Amino acid sequence: MPPMSATATNRRAVGAASDAAAPAIRPAIRISELRKTFGHLVAIDNVSVDVQPGEFFVIVGPSGCGKTTLLRILAGLETASGGSIEIDTPAGSQRPANSMVFQGESIFPWMTVWNNAAYGLRMRNAPAAVIKDKVAHYLDATGLTRFAGYYPHQLSGGMKQRVSIARAFANDPEILLMDEPFSALDAQNKLLLQEELLRIWDEQKKTVVFITHSVDEAVYLGDRIMVMTAQPGRVKSFVRVPLPRPRNVIELQKAPEFGELVHRIWSNLRDEVQRAREQDEGAHDTGDGAA
């Protein structure tokens, strides 16, 4: 049986670059001079970064700067126009290479909550007992046990988002790709799931690539934050988050270091958000925005 995603292959190289001299500890993800165009539009331009095994890597950037596109390329759902992406999977690993929590709704409307959460495991032909155990565990962790037999149309938006989070966690991938997974949630559930994510990450030492619009969330969760420029999306800066772990979100918010980091990232981001808005207004003024 093929793995869940036919695109989840080892060391997938696109374009010209290759790694002739691999370092002693290979990064979990190596992105080299990545470029993505859609027709004339340059969505991503010259992005290079190594994400280390077990790193919690966060991406922030203005709307339309190419964050989702970058994640889709990592997931193998989109091809790069130039540069290369390499994903390192430990030899002999039985786990899928990645699972993605998509921005917005992405669960199957014809499946119950339980079956949605079990989807990745079933596709991999996991033993029934493992499926039962994992799905029960993550439905519990996401507060959905009571709704296991419900269909998506019977759920709220935040509950649907939690189903897709449960599905990704239950699938137990090497790399977790998360595209604004908590943005549709109420504050209480967001807090609980952020804590749960950190707990799982800490326990399983997964590599996580996490997109968010919330600078607070980026600092609370991340080891390192990549700030992207307005379109075309390039690397504006990398910010390390040296805050000790385990982190407590409520306590952190009182810490001066937390405030300083948030301020630093937001200062970086503000110009880009402003630039993105000017681009939008420019497109409206000249009437070429609809192309």
> Given candidates 52, 103, 204, 237, which one binds ligand ATP under the rule CB under 6 A?
103
Size of the site for ligand ATP (CB under 6 A): 13
Backbone angles phi, psi at 276, to 5 degrees: -60, -40
Nearer residue to ligand ATP within complex by CB, 52 or 279: 279
Q: What is the DSSP string of 167-206?
A: HHHHT--SEEEEESTTTTS-HHHHHHHHHHHHHHHHHHT-
* Residue 229 binds Mg ion, judged by CB under 5 A: no
Binding mask 35-54 for ligand ATP (x = CB under 6 A): ---x--x-x-----------
Q: Where are the beta strands (DSSP E) in 19-87?
A: 29-38, 41-51, 56-60, 82-87
Contact between 197 and 162 (Cβ < 8 Å): no
Could you tell me which stretch among 59-67, 116-124, 192-200, 243-251 binds ligand ATP (CB under 6 A)? 59-67
* Residue 68 binds Mg ion, judged by CB under 5 A: yes
Round to whole Å and give the CA distance between 83 and 67. 16
Which residues are bridge partners to 30 per DSSP?
A: 50, 86
Q: Which amino acid is at 230?
A: A
Could you tell me which stretch among 18-26, 58-66, 144-152, 217-225 binds ligand ATP (CB under 6 A)? 58-66
At its nearest, how many Å lie between ligand ATP and the CB of residue 61?
6
Binding mask 103-132 for Mg ion (x = CB under 5 A): x-----------------------------
At its nearest, how many Å lie between ligand ATP and the CB of residue 213?
6
